[in-house]
Amino acid sequence: MYNYVIKKILFSFLTLLIVVTLVFFMLRAIPGGPFTREKPLPEATRERLEEAYGLNEPLFKQYLIYMGNLFTGDLGPSFRKPAYSVNELLATGIPQTAKVGLIAVILIVILGIPLGVISALKANTSIDYGVMILATVGITVPSFVIGSLFILLAQNVAWIPVGGLTKPISYLGPVVALGGYSLAFVARLTRSSMLEVLRQDYIRTARAKGLSEYKVIFKHALKNSLIPVVTYIGPMIAALMTGSFVVERIFVINGIGKYFTESIGARDYTLVIGVTLFYAIFYIIMVLLVDVAYSLIDPRIRLSK
């Protein structure tokens, strides 16, 4: 298993290198640039600015310089927030985004999985229908609608603040808007996976040999039904922990989610690569952890082949 993990990590670096390279050259290929303005800048001014940011060098040389800096951990200056480096922007934004994302992830796991299990055990009862109707609502209503509803609510209810992360209650809106979909999805996924497992022969065997219902459910059924759920949760954590443009804008959270969209519109080359790289690293780590989790949940899955 250690060999497997080490090999994976080495491959991850290759993946990241490809991601950065692709993003770097694709960004340069799209029209416009960081100094495109509603009122176009005079030619001389634009050239000066491009010179200051090294954009006048041949593209490949720019790439080499960028990669050189990247290996020292320097993500470069932001083009559209001139007083700040990308490192500084990420350092300010990531904690805000991660706070909301982490709470959402915890809620999804401690609510979503049990709800799915209960639903499966009480299949085709009113409890099951109730949970599944809620889950369908959660999946179909987009986050900006949930967000807008919260804003509407906040306008009329004094103790719910409108945006910002000033007090504990202010996390309610962003967490629900951010995690609502995934919570509902995890509940549905757990339910269907659990139902599938409960129909298996070995469950019947377990019951036949007189195991308590508790042991049947938690030792035999749940563990196996968690495999697809863990597969989903890994990348989901990466997505939630890197934030959402919509949720961060509606709730005025100073995180990095908004940079994913803003930086492209602004052609802030370095910031685009910065946030992409951050997401890619997070994603790769989560996928690796999911692989490790598989082998722990189900010993039949071996990593070291």
Partner 1 sequence: MKKLLLTFVAIVALFAFAACGGTTTTGGGTTTQAPAAPVVLNWNIGADPLTLDPGLNGASDGGDVINNTFEGLVREKDGEIFPGMAESWEVSSDGLTVTFNIREDAKWSDGSKLDADDFVRSWLRGMDPRNASEYSWIWEYTNVVGADDFVFASTTVDSELDALADAVGIESQDDGATFVVHLVAPTNWFVSLMAFYHFMPVPETASTTGTGAWAKNPTTAISNGPFKLTAYTVGDRLKLEKNEHYWNAEEVGIDVINGFFIDISTTAYARYEAGELDVLPSVPSAMIPGLLVASQEFYVFPLLGTYYINFNLSGNPEIGGSRNVGSRDLSIFYNVNLRYALALSLDREAIVEALGTGAVPAGGFISPGFMDHNGDDFFENTAEDSEIVTDDGAYALAVTYFATAANELFPEASDPVAALRAALASKTYLYNTSDGHRQVGELVQAMWEDNLGFRIQLGNEEWATFQGTRTDGAYDLARGGWLTDFMDPSGMIGIFTQGNAYNDPDYNNPAFEAALEAARTATTAQAHFEALYEAHAIFMGDMPIIPIYHYNDVFLIKAKVQGWSRSVLGSIDFSTAYIQQ
Evaluate the CA torsion angle 109, 112, 115, 117 in order and state its sign: negative
Task: Give me the sign of the Cα torsion angle 151, 95, 92, 27.
Answer: negative
| CA–CA separation, 94 and 278 (whole Å) | 10
Report helix, strand or coil for 121.
Answer: helix
CA distances to 69, 193, 202, 228, 273 from 13, rounded to whole Å, are: 16, 34, 42, 26, 15
Q: Which is nearer to partner 1, 172 or 292 (CB)?
A: 292
**How far apart are CB 155 and partner 1 at their closest, in Å?**
5
Site for partner 1 contains 299 (CB under 8 A) = yes
The residues in 12-41 that bind partner 1, with binding defined as CB under 8 A, are 30-33, 36-41
Gap between the Cα atoms of 253 and 19, Å rounded: 27
Q: Which stretch binds partner 1 (CB under 8 A): 18-26, 187-195, 269-277, 287-295?
A: 287-295
Site for partner 1 in 110-169 (CB under 8 A): 148, 151-152, 154-155, 158, 161-163, 165-166
Q: For the segment 214-253, give every residue that binds partner 1 (CB under 8 A).
A: 218-219, 223, 226, 230, 233-234, 237, 241, 249-252
φ/ψ (deg, to 5) at 253: -105, 130
The stretch among 56-64, 177-185, 189-197, 282-290 that binds partner 1 (CB under 8 A) is 282-290
Residues 60-119 that bind partner 1 (CB under 8 A): 77, 80-84, 88-89, 91-96, 98-99, 101-102, 105-106, 109
Q: Which is nearer to partner 1, 40 or 54 (CB)?
A: 40
